[in-house]
Amino acid sequence: MTVLLGREDETARLEALLAGLGRGEGGALLLHGEPGIGKSALLDRLASGVGGPADLLVLRASGVEFETELPYAALHQLCGPVLSGLPALPPPHRAALEIAFGIRSGSPDPFLVGAACLGLLVEVGRPVLCVIDDAHWLDDASARALAFVARRLGAEQLAMVFAAREELGRELAGLPRLPVGRLDESRSRTLLHRALGAPLDPQVAERILAEARGNPLALLELPTTAALAGGFRLPEPAGAVEQSFRARLAGLGPADRLALALAAAEPLGDPALLWRAAERLGITEAVGGELPLVEIGTRVRFVHPLARSAAYQGAPLADRRRAHAALAEVSDPVADPDRVAWHRAQASVGPDEEVAAALEDSAHRASARGGVAAAAAFLERAAGLTLDPGRRSSRVLAAAEAKLSLGEFDVAAELLGTVDPEEPRADLLRGRISFARHRGDRRPTEHLLRAAGRLSASDPDLARACYLEAVETGVLTGGLAEVLAAVRTVPGGDPVLAGMVALADQGHVAAGPLAAAVADPRAEVWARRPTLGYLLAVEFWDAEAMHGIAARFAAAGRGSGAFHLLPIGLAMLAVSTAYRGDFGAAMAMISEEESIAEATGAAPLVYPRIHLTALRGRRAEAEELFGTLGPHMSLSVHYARAVLGNGHADYPAALAAARAAVATGDLGLSGLALPELIEAAVRCGEHDAARSALGELEERAQAGGRPWGLGVAAYARALVTDEGGAYREAVAILEDEPQVVHRGRALLLHGEWLRRQGQRAQARIELRRAHELFSATGAAAFAERAARELTATGEHARSRTAPASDTLTMQEVHIARLVADGATSKEVAATLFLSPRTVDAHLRNIFRKLGLTSRRQLRDLPAIR
């Protein structure tokens, strides 16, 4: 067994990981340190499998500096030996990997690829160790997929060990880390003398030790440089190792230098490809000779990544271009068109429209396979090779848009700086960059409005789209007033733009056409601006539009595999579903949204959890949640506190919170808080505040003309006027309305009023219905309030079995619902980005909490709520 000097602690940590595999415990680890510090040596020792399970399968891959633009290159390298397991995967997972690896065409989501990769490695059926070197050079798509797998290994016989320099992308940054540091002076001196095998002048030795600074590779390579220079020309510390490799190439002839540049430029390590290119260049003898730093056998392998870099960067530019040109000629244009285009681009000496067009085609293919980073790189290079100003501008804009979707805002902004300042599409992208960078800042709308103004004459349709985007952005950032001031000057009859102006200037009744437009959730405008449509549906109390827009948005996100959109649709749909009284389904949606957020590394959207927690009446849980939130969630927190206060009959707290929510004036949620303010104000004796809020609520409800708003306005009016007819009207309107929570509120308020009027028998009927509805739904605080009122009438509320959601976590509810619908563990795992073994562990917890022993019993439960 190889013993690595000074690496006892690191070796012990890696051996513990292997030993865990033998016990069925998975894990991930990231070795990080400077170049030449010994990461690759540790990986080689680990890959020998010493101390691990006897049936261990080792899979290896390495990031390649010249392949960072090719999506899924490293993932394909890692999974190649186990692709025979593809047929065993669920169809969506199998398709995702086949598309990613170019076996079939399509557009996979990168996180679905990650889940599929996890399934493929688990299907091997034996302990698997994945060793990934030079992870800092992983292509972006592979890095996302592998990081996804690495975060889900606890319950599997699967381990992953990465090695990378300190400069890490965000995908791998969160993994458990094992730093690989420099050797101390004693061990450095020992390693130096071992490497030399011969005496060295003490002063030269001290200089080498000082320059190497405990870097093992520097200690092994610098002595050669020192000997060549007589001990007087040592390289500077920065780049010292690579400089030492370059020094070993200094005496080579032109053919050998070109051969090394060719080997370094060929990223696949394919000797057949190398030989064919060498033949084109007339250097087959050099390739077949004794080249330093590289081994040519069944694979082409450099002794170290820095050696490859030295061979490539140290070659004259003309040699590098000749190498790429030869590789382009011998690569298969049908099977591998992207590498052909990439090599041709590197070989180009000036603008070349044919090569630029090929790169643009490569960008489209990369984007379709989920390689947005690759698409951006291809487009950026294509723009550099484009002479025609119009085409160049178009390619730069496309590259900037791709960079924006990756979150590389600075790079996108820099690209836009090379475009004509008067280009309106550049302003459009600047607005989106500004919005992404500065949520809550009003500057994004300035760019969007400028783009719209410049487009008004040449492209009115796109101009209207820009104005609509500015309106939606203004709603979300607080800059709506400035946007509407500009929209007022826009000619034409766009109903949404005109309706937003009417709403701001004349109120809800005058904005009737806007309410009518919202009432059709299938309208194309809401497919493009779903957030605006959803908030307007809430503003006009249109339950069907609210639910329809959210359901359409979630379905579109799921169907397209766009996991940056699906969480927003799921969050919207969860809130709408919660008001419909299906708390279990809402919990499942929140669980799925949070699973996607965790998989993608994004922050979860907290507001649906806030709404649901308030409706369930869980005050302690809500306060704990509120304590984790920043000021940007204050409106949702105020609204939730108002609902909690009214549910628990803590009316002063409800009134203060509802006032704060309404005072914001924000589209949607501030209006939703009006009935909470009215109820709390009436109970606190503040009738003027209640009457004022009632006027605002009735204006919204009448403008929308939908049962949800009209029913809620009716019971709010009853609270203010103390009229029994208004209560009966509210109950009748909401009787067949899907908004179960507000139907229950109407029954509860009517029952309370009847009891106060001395009509106990009739009060019991309404209160009993309210109690049964709230209990079955899981709205515990309102159920308890109904129970207290029943007791006051002389009747005790009938105890009911608590919903399963009272004992299960949101993720457990989601898993239970999926299994109850007949999903297998593999199918549940595919939905929630988990491994089947993790799903089974959750199922065991679910069975224990519910007192069940089988999946069949889960299916036989009347509902999982």
The string of DSSP codes covering 373-406 is HHHHHHHHHHHHT--SHHHHHHHHHHHHHHHHHT
pLDDT digits (tens, 9 = 90+) for 315-367: 999 999 999 999 999 998 887 888 888 899 989 988 999 999 999 998 888 77
More confident residue, 250 or 393: 393
- At residue 643, the pLDDT reads 98
Q: Strand pairing partners for 301?
A: 295
- At residue 402, the pLDDT reads 81
The fraction of the chain above a pLDDT of 70, given in percent, is 89
Lowest mean pLDDT among 100-109, 235-244, 485-494: 235-244
Query: Quick check: 31 pLDDT over 80?
Result: yes
Judge contact between 549 and 523, C-beta under 8 A.
no
Confidence of residue 516 (pLDDT cuts 50, 70, 90): very high
Query: What is the overall mean pLDDT for the chain?
Result: 85
- At residue 744, the pLDDT reads 97
Mean per-residue pLDDT, 66-83: 84
More confident residue, 788 or 241: 788
The fraction of the chain above a pLDDT of 90, given in percent, is 40
Mean per-residue pLDDT, 485-501: 85
Query: Quick check: 235 pLDDT over 50?
Result: no
Confidence of residue 693 (pLDDT cuts 50, 70, 90): very high
- At residue 741, the pLDDT reads 96
Collapse the DSSP code of 174 into the 3-class scheme (helix H, G, I; strand E, B; otherwise coil) and give the result.
coil
Collapse the DSSP code of 510 into the 3-class scheme (helix H, G, I; strand E, B; otherwise coil) and give the result.
coil
Q: Where are the alpha helices (DSSP H) in 561-706?
A: 566-579, 583-600, 607-616, 619-626, 634-647, 651-663, 669-672, 674-683, 687-704
Confidence of residue 581 (pLDDT cuts 50, 70, 90): very high
Query: Quick check: 112 pLDDT over 90?
Result: no
More confident residue, 823 or 210: 823
**Cβ contacts of 264 within 8 Å, gap of 6 or more:** 302, 308, 309, 311, 312, 315, 323
Mean per-residue pLDDT, 375-380: 84
Collapse the DSSP code of 26 into the 3-class scheme (helix H, G, I; strand E, B; otherwise coil) and give the result.
coil
Query: Quick check: 1 pLDDT over 60?
Result: no
Distance CA 515, CA 519 (A): 6
pLDDT digits (tens, 9 = 90+) for 619-655: 999 999 998 887 778 889 999 999 999 999 999 999 9
Distance CA 701, CA 188 (A): 79
Query: Quick check: 618 pLDDT over 90?
Result: yes
pLDDT digits (tens, 9 = 90+) for 293-322: 888 888 788 877 677 878 888 899 999 999
What values do phi and psi take at 339, rounded to 5?
-70, -35
Q: Tokens at residue 272, please?
A: 């057949």
Lowest mean pLDDT among 82-86, 500-504, 540-544, 553-557: 553-557
Lowest mean pLDDT among 100-104, 179-183, 769-773: 100-104
Query: Quick check: 230 pLDDT over 60?
Result: no
Mean per-residue pLDDT, 554-579: 83
More confident residue, 496 or 405: 496
Mean per-residue pLDDT, 88-117: 80
Select, from the ranges 190-204, 403-417, 486-500, the one with the highest average predicted confidence (pLDDT): 486-500
Q: Quick one: residue 466, left, alpha or beta (phi over 0 = left, psi -120 to 50 = alpha)? A: alpha
What values do phi and psi take at 89, rounded to 5?
-80, 155
Query: Quick check: 233 pLDDT over 50?
Result: no
- At residue 66, the pLDDT reads 67
- At residue 305, the pLDDT reads 67
Query: Quick check: 508 pLDDT over 90?
Result: yes
pLDDT digits (tens, 9 = 90+) for 423-479: 888 888 888 888 766 554 457 888 888 898 888 888 888 888 899 989 988 888 777
Mean per-residue pLDDT, 368-383: 78
For 366-394, letters b (16+ CB in 10 Å) and e give bbebbbbbbbbbbbbbbbbbbeeeebbbb
Q: Tokens at residue 114, please?
A: 């990650």
Question: Whose CA is closest to 134, among 176, 74, 48, 49?
Answer: 74
More confident residue, 412 or 242: 412
- At residue 624, the pLDDT reads 92
Query: Quick check: 590 pLDDT over 50?
Result: yes
- At residue 805, the pLDDT reads 62
Tell the residue number behind the tokens 């450095």, with chain if given.
Answer: 188
Query: Quick check: 113 pLDDT over 70?
Result: yes
Query: Quick check: 676 pLDDT over 60?
Result: yes
Confidence of residue 760 (pLDDT cuts 50, 70, 90): very high
Judge contact between 116 and 96, C-beta under 8 A.
yes
